Chain A
């Protein structure tokens, strides 16, 4: 009995993975052929980019601030308070900026996409789209995927910058370290490889968030209840995928660059 359910579970998981990979490959292929819905891409760039700005700025700021606070406390024990900048910038640029930005986008954009495509699915709008001669992958998935892939890196850079500023505010305001000391220390810690790593990762994370959400949304069934389930699944699967992909891409980049 248990074996049967495990088998079934495994089979569904493999099928699901296969569908996901096929959808992603198809969307990538469609980026390079017509018809290409340019207007929808612009719309999604705005929706995903501008729409996520506020939440990313807030996340970045508080992360940087709390990093400064925590590391200031620890570094004090070694009399190394002046090194706070290093810690803030290194952790922000390499890891926290990309991952936290991606997680916030997974929550905001992933749920939105899954809910939108899911409700289009259960109200036959996706069928209507196909009946009118439009390929839903070209019209809906490609623009979102492009926007996600290119906006998450930009948002990450903004989060990094705001985070370092947040660190600065705490370091100067509360830890009483001179501004110039902080900035020197920030720059000291940034090796070019780290910057590359922090810039390359978000492309993968953005792609994964949006493609997972599109896949989940387009597989919605079961009415409004199904839409609710799809939305939750998109956020959960998207967030887990962000952490997993972050790990593997980091590992890969370590092998390639260091």
Chain B
């Protein structure tokens, strides 16, 4: 069933699906740069509080998908819904407001290098809201503490290591409490310990704050970790442990190949897949 009701009156996803509407939905989205086809009729659905993990070779179009969700790129054809609004034909002005519910961690961090860590992390609150300064800085310190970088608050991005920059980027994406977080290779180039910290951050945001997540990664180990762990609170402490089967089903893997989705399913299904390309990719 397709929610595409154009050119009839616009239908929101809430109306089409009820309160349990998908938060992100691609319907036959295609995109080409010049003559090069990047995405061909890609469709998928992300439900509230769930996780999508995108795998695929370098250049497969994973970052492109995230940019499409943010409206930074426009598809050549197909329909994209984000939080009940159709964004593929939306003006930049309206998009600014849709992006309020989205947070994005860019592949290379994309920190503003003329601003300090504090100003980077607080950017959205400082520039686009009327929140008083002390409150902004309290929130900045909170998220930096979360991610273990409190002592670097007054440094410039150029004074940080690659992994620290990545974590500042994660902090910046979560400051304004978005409802959907997009992570573009959040653990690539991090040491295993820091990678686990980042994975746990993603899990905590998902399970405790009900943030829906899309994770692009080449690190299978991290992908499985995110898919197969769950966080919950007990006696005021956060516990992260292996998820039961139902919970693990909420994380879905999507494998891109030649512009199309060549696999979609849970971690268990991915492990069991006999497809030779997948096997080559996973080994």
Cβ contacts under 8 Å, A130 to chain B: 70, 72, 92, 96, 99
Task: Say yes or no for B191: interface residue by CB 8 A criterion.
Answer: no
* Interface residue tally on B, bucketed by range: 20 to 34
Task: Kindly supply a per-residue 1/0 record for chain B positions 112-129, scoring 1 wherever the CB is within 8 Å of any chain A CB and 0 otherwise.
Answer: 110000000001100110
- A123–B123 Cα gap in the complex (Å)? 17
Pair A134/B104 contact, Cβ less than 8 Å: no
Task: Say yes or no for A219: interface residue by CB 8 A criterion.
Answer: no
Cβ contacts under 8 Å, B102 to chain A: 131
- A222–B103 Cα gap in the complex (Å)? 26
Cβ contacts under 8 Å, A135 to chain B: 92, 96
Cβ contacts under 8 Å, A129 to chain B: 112
Task: Say yes or no for B224: interface residue by CB 8 A criterion.
Answer: no
Pair A131/B70 contact, Cβ less than 8 Å: yes
Pair A133/B110 contact, Cβ less than 8 Å: no
- A133–B111 Cα gap in the complex (Å)? 15
Pair B106/A132 contact, Cβ less than 8 Å: no
Pair A132/B110 contact, Cβ less than 8 Å: no
Cβ-neighbour of A125 out of B67, B110, B127, B128 (below 8 A)? B110
Closest to A132 in B: B124
Pair A128/B100 contact, Cβ less than 8 Å: no
Pair A128/B92 contact, Cβ less than 8 Å: no
Cβ contacts under 8 Å, B112 to chain A: 120, 125, 128-129
Pair B128/A133 contact, Cβ less than 8 Å: yes
Task: Say yes or no for A229: interface residue by CB 8 A criterion.
Answer: no
Task: Kindly supply a per-residue 1/0 record for chain A positions 114-133, scoring 1 wherever the CB is within 8 Å of any chain B CB and 0 otherwise.
Answer: 00000010011101111111
Cβ-neighbour of B72 out of A120, A131, A133 (below 8 A)? A131
Restricting to A4-56, which residues have a CB under 8 Å from any CB of B?
A: 35, 37
Pair B128/A123 contact, Cβ less than 8 Å: no
Cβ contacts under 8 Å, B113 to chain A: 123, 125
Task: Say yes or no for B219: interface residue by CB 8 A criterion.
Answer: no
Closest A-B pairs by Cβ, 4 of them:
A124-B110, A128-B110, A131-B104, A132-B124
| Chain B contact residues, CB within 8 Å of chain A | 67, 70, 72, 92, 96-97, 99-100, 102-104, 106-108, 110-113, 123-124, 127-128, 172, 176
List 12 additional contacts besides A124-B106, A125-B111; criterion CB under 8 Å: A123-B110, A124-B108, A124-B110, A125-B110, A130-B70, A130-B72, A130-B99, A131-B72, A131-B104, A132-B172, A133-B97, A139-B127
